[in-house]
Homo-oligomer: A and B are copies of this chain.
Amino acid sequence: MLINGVQTDQVSALDRGIQYGDGLFETIAIMDGHLSLWERHLQRLHHGCDRLGITAPDSAELLAEAKTVIKNHQKGVLKIIVTRGIGGRGYRPPVDMQTNRVVYYSPWPDYPEACWEKGILIRICSTCLGINPTLAQLKHLNRLEQVLARSEWVDSATFEGLMLDSDKRVIEGTMSNLFLIKDDMFITPDLNRCGVAGIMRGLIIELATTLNIPVIIKDVSLDDLKAADAMFISNSLIGMLPVRELLGVSYSLDLLPSILVKTVDDYISGRY
Contact = CB atoms under 8 A, between A and B. Distances in A.
B19 A141 contact: yes
A12 B8 CA distance: 9
Contacts of A10: 10-13
A138 to B, nearest CB: 9
Interface stretch (A83-91, A116-124, A223-231, A254-262): A83-91
Interface in A13-65: 13-22, 25, 52-53
Contact of A22 (B9, B14, B143): B143
A132 interface: yes
B18 A15 contact: yes
B13 A102 contact: yes
B131 A131 contact: yes
Interface stretch (A145-153, A183-191, A212-220): A145-153
A177 interface: no
Nearest to A22: B147
A135 interface: yes
24 contacts: A9-B12, A9-B14, A13-B81, A13-B102, A18-B18, A18-B81, A18-B141, A19-B25, A19-B141, A22-B143, A22-B144, A89-B106, A89-B109, A91-B143, A91-B150, A91-B151, A92-B147, A128-B131, A129-B130, A131-B131, A135-B144, A141-B144, A142-B142, A142-B144
Given A16-B147, A18-B18, A92-B151, 8 more contacts: A11-B13, A20-B147, A22-B144, A22-B147, A127-B132, A130-B194, A132-B166, A135-B145
